[in-house]
Amino acid sequence: MTNISEKDKWLYVAVEDPGGNEKFLGFYDEKADVSYIPVFENKEDALTCLVNMPRKDNRKYEVQAVLLDILREDARNNGFLLFLTDSQGNVQKHIEP
């Protein structure tokens, strides 16, 4: 696994309403009482996992590459954590803000 603390690291994330009122697809885990955005090291894992993620009707979703610094800033500003996730949706690692 690559070092995810690299400054110019790109990760993949599902984006809701791309090109319009876009936002990163995030979730709330009631059991753990945390809001989080699943991120992926490669596009294939993100696409595989997106198929099984809960989504809203009549919304478009796509996987995009985003700089880690941008993901961190958005997560901090909106009260989310970032979890490095595998293609099956299993959390592999919490990414420090």
Going from N- to C-terminal start, the domains of the chain cover 10-33+45-95
Res. 1: pLDDT tops 60? no
Q: What is the pLDDT of residues 60-95, one digit of tens each?
A: 999 999 999 999 999 999 999 999 999 999 999 999
pTM for the full predicted model: 0.88
Closest CA to 80 of 39, 36, 38: 36
21 or 3, higher pLDDT: 21
Q: Are 54 and 62 in contact (CB under 8 A)?
A: no
Q: Quick count: other Cβ atoms within 10 Å of Cβ 44?
A: 12
Strands (E) in 5-80, as ranges, are 10-16, 23-24, 27-29, 34-40, 61-67
